[in-house]
Amino acid sequence: MNVTVTDWGLIPYATAYERQKSLFGTALQQKAAQQPVENRLILCEHPHVITIGQHGLSSNLLFPEAVLKTRQVELYPVNRGGDITYHGPGQVVGYPVLDLDFFHLGLKTYIHRLEELIILTLAEYEVQGERLDGATGVWLDAAQAGKARKIAAIGVRSSRYVTMHGFALNVNTDLSYFGLINPCGFTDKGVTSLQQELGRKVSMEDIKRSLIHHFDRLFSAE
């Protein structure tokens, strides 16, 4: 495998963010020095947190911070693309820190492969993930008016074709927390989870194994 996989387990968002920035900075230094970059895939879960990307709108946060605190939800601005989203227990978050030049990928193709990673993983549970034009991430019933619901969010930062941030797949997520925001800025679309779709809890370890398997296939050196 061309990528080192690490599982950080349940980790506060701020801690993971600082670790990720450190790995990202090291990768940029290695690339600038024309040294091989250690490509990584980090998997984890976070305690309840709402993150807002660089172009996120504060109006998509539907409640004041005082209300968030009563539900033990942190609010955290971050340097990724995208708008506002929620992370919490029961959601698998993936942070690939990759040198896209090593994989001969542009940023658009990279995001497309992250979506494909989720789609292939969902297919193992006979859940059909889809893309939605103009809306990065993975959706169910994307083309059906009033039925489209998001099961995975994707938000990426790239510098010199080195990446950070990544994807968040709702597995056994408590979806009520999404009611605190307009997820990714949408007001006319829903959110869902594997548990919601299947009517049962899903093994997080099994999901992680599937993600790692498909990641290896999609991000083999070409």
- How many CB atoms lie under 10 A from the CB of residue 38? 14
Active site residue 44: no
b/e burial code for range 47-70 (CB count within 10 A of at least 16 → b): ebbbbbbeebeeebbeeeeeebee
Set 44, 105, 184, 212: catalytic member: 184
Contacts of 104 (CB under 8 A, 6+ apart): 222
CA atoms of 222 and 219, how far apart (whole Å): 8
User: ∠ at Cα 30 (136, 52), nearest 5°?
Assistant: 30
Count H helices, E strands: the chain? 5, 11
- Reduced to 3 states, what is the DSSP secondary structure of residue 18? helix
- C-alpha to C-alpha distances, 215 to 1, 115, 116, 129, 206, nearest whole angstrom: 10, 11, 9, 16, 14
Known catalytic residues?
184
